Chain A
Amino acid sequence: MHKIILIIQREYLTRVRKKSFLIMTILGPILFAAFMVLPAWFATMEDTEVRTIAVVDSTNIFYKVLPETQYIKFEYPQGTSLKELQDNFEFSGYSAILFIPHNILASNTTILYSSKQPSMTVTMHIKNALEKEIENEKLKANNIENLDKILESIKTNINLRSITWNEDGKEKESNTGLAMGIGYGSGMLIYFFIFLFGAQVMRGVIEEKTNRIVEVIVSSVKPFQLMMGKIIGVGLVGLTQFVLWILLTVVFIGGVQKLLFPELSKTPTEQVLAQEIMNSQQLDSSSIPFTEPEPQILEEIFASLGDVNFILILGMFLFFFIGGYLLYASFFAIIGSAVDNEADTQQFMLPVTLPLIIAIFVMINTINNPEGSLAFWFSMIPLTSPVVMMVRIPFHPAAWEIALSAAILVLTFIGSTWMAGKIYRTGILMYGKKASYKELWKWLRYKN
């Protein structure tokens, strides 16, 4: 036991002391922050070009009634025909011509002329504006008294509350968006963690093998101790890095957002959280742009936040995080021991990375349907369960499902480390032999 601690210590310290660790620790959150903030930033930057659209309105119903936005303007040139506008389009400065025929109320058809494909934003805007205007026209045609008031009074905004009940029959209010966010985030983290640090285990094994130091080491410790020491040491490095990343990411995102876009760029979850904080501080909530929060909705979010079992989620996250890593790290250790250099790893990498990639695909399906049979089976298969089960946990799967998935994972990684240990101790001393799957099978069955 003392030996394995020495090995863990070495694996941990040599990696944490590396310059690259420091660089990655600082760069990681910047990249994360960039991933989270940049899309929002690009979204705000999108389409700042002002598009002026000439409206040729044969009905005269729509004269100066089409609503304009910051970037979409309408002009209603008088005294020119559609033909003239089309002929002079190039020099007119218009980005499109909207032709509204006489019979639009009957035909429901209108035409947008332009030299380039108009953007989705523009066509949607025009379509919505026209629909609304025509609906109004049709209503007016019925000569209803106090139409404006009636229209105002029938405006409705449905608020769908989703309530689930657990095995005891106790009702729980759930917030699907929040559960999705948590599930997606933790699934992705586990995926990245396995890839990043599993590959580090592999590289560490290859390094020892190509250095030829491995023969000296295994004359003092059991190959299994060396392998486990490395897997645990690298895992601890990963945990350290992740904790640092999360702390720094929070700091960075906070800082960047305050600097660039005080309110715009938050993710929905963050917006929800931000609202809550603001509300609880009795601040003026109208400064938040995306909705006017109704007290009811906030209450719900409070209720569902209280309902999210953070201790369970955090506990299960750590469990699947570590379990998934241990399982895959043993595979990566096998690959490392089977090859002489990193270039040869390709043929073995695919079967290891494929289940992880499948897990990501299943994860997307799982978020939409966390209780489906696809979600169930892939959260039981140990190769995909760390990612897929983690997505399901915020949706309150049955306790026995979590327990079964966890038990299968534990049994599998015990089996895989045992298997890895057997292949590893033969592999690390084999040089110049092109390892095939058949060869690995033979190594597995060697007595010692």
Chain B
Amino acid sequence: MDLFQAKNVVKEFSNHLALNKVSISVPENTIFGLLGPNGAGKTTLIRIINQITAPDSGELFYEGRKMTSDDIYSIGYLPEERGLYKKMKVGEQALYLAQLKGMSKHDALKKLKYWFEKFEMTEWWNKKVEELSKGMQQKVQFVTTILHEPKLLIFDEPFSGFDPINANLLKNEILELKRKGSTIIFSTHNMSSVEELCDHISLINKSEVILEGQIFDIKKNYRTNVYELSYLGDPEKLQAGLGASYELLTNSSENHVNFASIKTQTEDADNRLLKELIPLVNIVSFNELIPSMNDVFIRVVEETNKKNSKA
């Protein structure tokens, strides 16, 4: 079931169409990647989900029914441009933000204690925010985002500003939240983290959704049928022995091991190709060159941009 759905959402700012009939469906208990180049309309869509702004037209559904204003209490939002009151003490501020999300003071204190201990931030409680480093502030903000255990979490570039250790801590925490049943909308430009974390994605470019689906399917759709091979043996023999339905793209040698990339004309040709290769060379490794999300992103965005400029 879809936890959140947007149908034909349109939002126009003064002579600028920010979202043009955008529809997304976020399945429950998944990590949903909201991708797109800068200025594509992601932040506007996120703000609409958070009910910070309202769409000009289109409908929003939450748990299968129309979204209401009370639904914001079951959403946790970590904006890309984040900030806290600099002069306010960390603990007081976390408590304030939690109460704004509808938690009782008692509950908030109990949960904050748990998270502050878990993230080893207990001694920050009485410090002013401006005394903390940027990374520390981000941690505080992350805790305040997830504290009220929202069903839907929205993270906009959550890893920016974190060192690799803390980024990893955060990543594990996000996976843990998913395990506990949360649904997460994850907006980022970091494609490797998309591949690591996301189940579904929607790619928005120039106010429109241009690609959506499960990561696995998307990658499958965008594969180029190129295989990478490293082998021992005679490169010329390989070149001569390959059948007409295979194209040898590269063939080079390095430290007595040879490398080749081979394009097949049909899909799912791995076994047939292997059969052809075995008599020719000694195979060291063989794998299909699967496009990264990075490649897919660039390819799809550039293709639609070209199409648009032609039209």
Given A212-B82, A216-B97, A220-B101: A14 touches B77 (CB 8 Å cut-off): no
> Contact at B96–A216, with CB atoms within 8 Å?
no
* Cβ-neighbour of A211 out of B47, B51, B83 (below 8 A): B83
B96 to chain A: which residues have CB within 8 Å? Answer: 6, 10
Contact with A along B244-269 (1 / 0, CB 8 A): 00000000000000000000000000
Question: Which chain A residues lie closer than 8 Å to B101 at the CB level?
Answer: 220
Report the bound CA distance from A7 to B72 in whole Å: 17
- Nearest chain B residue, comparing its CB with the CB of A6: B99
**Chain B residues whose CB sits within 8 angstroms of the CB of A7 once the complex forms:** 100
Write the nearest CB–CB distance from A16 to chain B, whole angstroms: 13
Taken together as a complex, chains A and B put the C-alpha atoms of A18 and B72 apart, in Å, by 32
* Cα distance, A182 to B8, chains bound together (Å): 63
- How far does the alpha carbon of A380 sit from the alpha carbon of B281 in the complex, in Å? 98
A220 touches B47 (CB 8 A): no
Q: Nearest A residue to B96 by beta-carbon distance?
A: A10
| Contact segment of B58-66, B84-92, B112-120, B197-205 | B84-92
* CB within 8 Å of B: which A207-231 residues: 207-208, 211-213, 215-221, 223
B82 cross-chain contacts in A, Cβ below 8 A = 212-213, 215-216
The complex places the Cα of A6 from the Cα of B98 at a distance, in Å, of: 11
- The reply to whether A6 and B100 contact each other, CB–CB distance below 8 Å, is yes
Q: Which of A3, A6, A215 interacts with B52 by CB under 8 Å?
A: A215
Q: Does the CB pair B100–A213 fall under 8 Å?
A: no
Given contacts A211-B86, A429-B47, contact A442 B14 (CB under 8 A): yes
Q: Is the contact region of chain B dominated by helix, strand, or loop, or is it mixed?
A: loop
Q: Number of B residues whose C-beta is below 8 Å from A?
A: 30
Tell me the count of chain A residues lying within 8 A, CB to CB, of chain B.
24
Query: Which secondary structure characterizes the binding site on chain A?
Result: helix
Q: Is B75 an interface residue (CB 8 A)?
A: yes
Is the Cβ of A211 less than 8 Å from the Cβ of B85?
yes
Residue of B nearest to A217 (CB): B100
- CB contacts (< 8 Å) of A215 on chain B: these are 47, 52, 77, 79, 81-82
Q: How many angstroms from the CA of A211 to the CA of B129 in the assembled complex?
A: 11
Interface string of B32-55 (1 = CB under 8 A from A): 000000000000000100111110
Which residues does chain A contribute within 8 Å of B97, judged by CB atoms?
Answer: 216-217, 220
Q: Mark A404-448, 1 if CB is under 8 A from B, else 0.
A: 000000000000000000000000010100000000001000011
What 1/0 flags go to A154-175 for Cβ under 8 Å of B?
A: 0000000000000000000000
* Cα A7 to Cα B96 with chains together (Å): 9
**In angstroms, how far is the closest chain B Cβ from the Cβ of A443?**
9
CA–CA, A407 and B262, complex, Å: 84
Task: Indicate whether B173 reaches chain A with its CB closer than 8 angstroms.
Answer: no
Which A64-86 residues have a C-beta within 8 angstroms of B? none
**In the complex, A208 Cα to B47 Cα: how many Å?**
17
A213 CA to B83 CA, complexed, in Å: 5
Jot down 29 A-B pairs with beta carbons below 8 A, ordered by A: A3-B100, A6-B99, A7-B100, A10-B96, A14-B85, A14-B87, A18-B87, A211-B83, A211-B86, A212-B79, A212-B81, A212-B83, A213-B82, A215-B77, A215-B79, A216-B79, A216-B82, A216-B83, A216-B144, A217-B100, A219-B50, A219-B77, A219-B79, A220-B72, A221-B100, A223-B52, A429-B53, A431-B81, A448-B53
**Contacts A216-B83, A216-B97, A219-B51 supplied; 9 other A-B pairs, CB < 8 Å:** A207-B85, A212-B79, A213-B85, A215-B52, A216-B77, A219-B75, A429-B53, A431-B81, A448-B54
